[in-house]
Amino acid sequence: MPQVPVARHPGARVIQEQPPAGRRSGKPVWYAPAAVLGDAVSAAGPVLQAFAPVDGAHAATYAMVAAAAWLLVRASRKRYGERRLGEGGTLRPAVQDWLVLIGLLAVVRAATGEESPFPLALAALVPCALTSAAVHALLHRHLAVRRRAGKTMRRALVIGEVKAVDGLIGHLARRTDHEFVVVGVCPIGDEDPQALAPVAARLGRQAPQRMSADSAPVLAAARRLGVDVVLVVPGPHMAGTRLRRLSWALHGEGCPLVIVPGLTEVAGRRVGVFSVAGLTMLNVAPPLRRGLATLLKSVTDRLGAALLIALLAPLFAVVALAVRLDSPGPVVHRQTRIGRGGVPFTMAKFRTMVADAERLRQQLTNEQDGRMFKIRRDPRITRVGRVLRRYSLDELPQLFNVVQGRMSLVGPRPPLPDEVAGYDEVELRRLAVKPGLTGLWQVSGRSDLSWDETIALDLRYVDNWSPSVDLGVLVRTVRAVVSGTGAY
């Protein structure tokens, strides 16, 4: 089988033709020391500053104990493992570890009779989780940049039936946030030879030779290509004893084996592995739809929106006056949108277009590739309206919708009735939760995204929502609003 580099997206990278010496982890070796140092400073620094003025003689000791305890907690929960360093989702693990740290230090205080002021110690440790999360987030950003440039990648050999292999390669090619670059395939099965054409097109070379699923030819291909990992898509020709023997052979060579079950856009926390009668099974937990977490979201939404309305009341007045003076028409534009479960509601926004914008829409051509109507230089937008859209100030009246319980602070974009009328079964999934004032769509490019990208982001949120996801979106919203990316 010839060596065939695969581009993950057009112009993304050029993969080296010669296989590297030895297998790599796909991440810089300095990640672990940087993470350990960052966590140690995150715990020791605030404690030292808090205790130095009140107990200078023991401040350094307290700082070292705090740092050692924090590193112990983080290490015991495998935060420095190669699989986790530089990956996303840094805030939730840090908060969970912080709670464990507080419990551990409380036990130590009780066992040793330590009499340092507990409120002071607790206050000193408050920044610990946030600072550690920031350190790991910087590692994640560094890793993401390197992966987009085609660096710190793991060379993968893909094994499976032709259609499954083609689907996996295509999925990996559309994304740049993972560690794998496919350098070769071992297609197996009895499909028509013409079925290899799509795989050949993705590879950019001649069609790969069909191979048996036996261990010897797979090992030979892995050695020849110098792969770091073998990805297997199980199927009728690659399951049971054959897959088990292949794992024995690969592990004997020190080559990792990864099984790709075909699940997409399912958060790792929802997947559990267990064994029944010698069979390995995956349990996929349902999305959060009820319970304490959803109650907390509802309460937080309403209280947070009410607080923001009170704090931003002067801004509301200034924006309303600007809209009134800029062009004739109502200050607030009210529009029917579709909410959770397909229930319509009236959404309020500061008016950013001329009064007869809906009539003029018939004369314009949509620049979006999907169901949303978007134009980069929409002539209906007023002068003040462009400023309001640039900084998302036109969205502020939606806070009243949040207080009323019709929207959430974070959720999918609220669609129009004519959009929903054309939804297919997959797109209707967006209506399983309340629409949001902001969401993954808002913080990932807004109107610059294609329709498929917008749907994918909304479905990822719907299926994998958690309080930590909401918190992360709210933090990223501030940056998206300031940058104005995709706002028009």
Distance CA 282, CA 356 (A): 55
Distance CA 209, CA 91 (A): 46
pLDDT value of position 213? 53
Q: What digits encode the pLDDT tens for the residues 415-464? A: 999 889 889 898 999 999 999 999 988 787 666 677 777 888 899 999 99
Q: What digits encode the pLDDT tens for the residues 315-365? A: 999 999 999 998 888 999 999 999 999 999 999 999 988 877 676 666 666
pTM reported for the whole predicted model = 0.71
Distance CA 454, CA 444 (A): 9
Amino acid letter for position 414 = P
Which three-class secondary structure state does DSSP give residue 43? Answer: helix
pLDDT value of position 320? 94
pLDDT value of position 201? 55
186, β-bridge pairs: 159
- Which residue numbers in the chain have pLDDT < 50? 1-22, 206-207, 488
DSSP state of 19: P
Distance CA 26, CA 152 (A): 4
For residue 159, the surrounding DSSP H or E stretch is: strand 154-161
